[in-house]
Structure 1
């Protein structure tokens, strides 16, 4: 499991916990070109069974969405659970513009995602 990463860079904070066998990653701050490598590295360490809590995201660009899509596809290919929770359309507008909000497994809260994934 990845360790918590503090405030460097100051625009992104990533923390993780477990809900059963699933890693829950809480994302706070910007998901853009300045934080993409940090986000990608954290995702790669987390494994494929992931719930991303995006309720603390202040902005997401298409590159970050691409990382999420790749992780979701890899999880699906391995038959591992994957979900997004707390997605706000105003701060993650790129999901709606691309139409991916209709395809990705989006849930309001962790409990709802866990029930659906089990």
Structure 2
């Protein structure tokens, strides 16, 4: 799990990407990004999430988002990213779903 706080923008998106890439390089395949502490996200951060979603998908992994705040949720909805990346009300729900689908193909 990656917990993010503050604003996700062009200044902080590279740090998010580096943190997620480290998890992938370490072998993590089920990654939850906790956005409870994020009130603002710009297009560069949105792009970072999509790129890392694809990177995990390419290694049969999964990235999902949890505790997304209303402003960020609107951005995800407007851009239809919420149709691609699963969003959960909280980290517990995301982790539970990850565990229940771990090792399941086609789902």
TM norm structure 2:
0.78
Distance 2:72 2:80 in 1: 15
Comparing both structures, which one devotes a greater share of its residues to strand? 1
Structure 2 stretches of 5 or more lacking a match?
100-107
Instruction: Give 1:83 deviation, angstroms.
Output: 1.3
Would the aligned equivalents of 1:87 and 1:106 in 2 still touch at CA under 8 Å? yes
Instruction: Give 1:53 deviation, angstroms.
Output: 0.1
Alignment of 1:16-55 (within 5 A): 24-47=1-24, 48-49=28-29, 50-55=31-36
Considering Cα pairs closer than 8 Å and 6+ residues apart, tell me whether 1 or 2 has the greater RCO. 2
The verdict on how the C-alpha distance between 1:56 and 1:26 changes in structure 2, with shifts beyond 3 A counting, is same
Instruction: Give 1:74 deviation, angstroms.
Output: 1.5
Structure 1 stretches of 5 or more lacking a match?
1-23
What is the RMSD computed on CA atoms of the aligned residues?
A: 1.6
The alignment covers a number of residue pairs equal to: 95
TM norm structure 1:
0.71
Alignment of 1:63-74 (within 5 A): 63-74=44-55
